Chain A
Amino acid sequence: DIVLTQSPGTLSVSPGESATLSCRASQTVSSSYLAWYQQKLGQPPRLLLYGASNRATGIPDRFSGSGSGTDFTLTISRLEPEDFAVYYCQQYGSSPLYSFGQGTKLEIK
């Protein structure tokens, strides 16, 4: 089974600064099949990016993604108070058909 490992587990950043979150796969993932979600406390996950770098509807341009192969990155620029949440990467295609990373908690420094 493919395993997605996110790092760091917790990231402390000040509002206004940038945050870089990593997602590493145990085997090659097509960049088309890599997505990112944001989950705030008590809420379901919300789709942020698909195809590794394409923003979902309504997602501000301070969210960007990159990567290929086994290494993918989510970058959040100019952090706003509402951006502090848990972020998950998700892959499609390998067994199991869909899987998620364990999440990175972005907290206010």
Chain B
Amino acid sequence: QVQLQESGPGLVKPSQTLSLTCTVSGGSVNSDGYYWSWIRQHPEKGLEWIGYIYHSGTTFSNPSLNSRLTISLDTSKNQVSLKLSSVTAADTGVYYCARGLDVRYCSGDTCSHSWVFDPWGQGTLVTVSS
């Protein structure tokens, strides 16, 4: 059973870089078919997809964060990393690591794909404040 655990500083100063690590156990970040993703949840608000990295190293990110975001893999440690530069108070929230996957399912003769997140890590709270 795959488990994900986020870690990193809980407090980051404005204009600095937020750095988080997601350690994957029970599975490999090198496995085909998974999109290792970061998602954040602003206080009392909803969920925002940040971006993902594929085992090949290909990344895709939310256009709203594109220029500040770096997502990388460390296959030797089975970890996924997130770096978000020039943070402001608006970047405060709980940051989740999640495994993105393409679920193939069929109904009768028709087969389709669905892209979802499962499982998720427990999340880590990051506060941006001086």
Mark each residue of chain A from 22 to 47: 1 if its CB lies under 8 Å from any CB of chain B, else 0: 00000000001111010000011111
Instruction: Determine the chain A residues whose CB is within 8 A of the CB of B113 once the complex forms.
Output: 32
Set A54, A56, A92, A102: member contacting B118, Cβ < 8 A: A56
Whether the pair A46, B120 counts as a contact (CB closer than 8 A) is: yes
Size of interface on B: residues with Cβ below 8 Å to A: 27
The answer to whether residues A44 and B121 also contact, given A35-B114, A51-B114, A92-B114 and a CB cut-off of 8 A, is yes
Is B63 engaged at the interface, CB distance under 8 Å to the other chain? yes
A88 in contact with B49 given A50-B105, A50-B114, A56-B118 (CB within 8 Å): no
Bound-complex Cα distance A34 to B105 (A): 13
Q: How far is the CA of A15 from the CA of B95 in the complex (A)?
A: 32
Q: How far is the CB of B100 from chain A (nearest CB, A)?
A: 8
Q: Which residue of chain A has the shortest Cβ distance to B94 in the bound complex?
A: A44
Could you mark each residue 97-125 of chain B with 1 if its beta carbon is under 8 Å from any beta carbon of chain A, else 0? Answer: 01010010100000011111111111100
The verdict on A101 contacting chain B, using a C-beta distance below 8 Å, is: yes
Q: How far is the CB of B25 from chain A (nearest CB, A)?
A: 16
Contact residue among A37, A50, A90, A98 (Cβ-Cβ distance under 8 Å from B103): A50
Say yes or no for B36: interface residue by CB 8 A criterion: no
Contact with B along A87-107 (1 / 0, CB 8 A): 010101101111111110000
User: Does B96 interact with chain A (Cβ within 8 Å)?
Assistant: yes
A-B contact sample (17 more), CB < 8 A, given A47-B116, A96-B64, A98-B100:
A32-B112, A33-B114, A33-B115, A34-B114, A44-B98, A44-B122, A45-B47, A45-B120, A50-B116, A88-B47, A93-B115, A97-B49, A97-B60, A98-B115, A101-B46, A102-B46, A103-B47
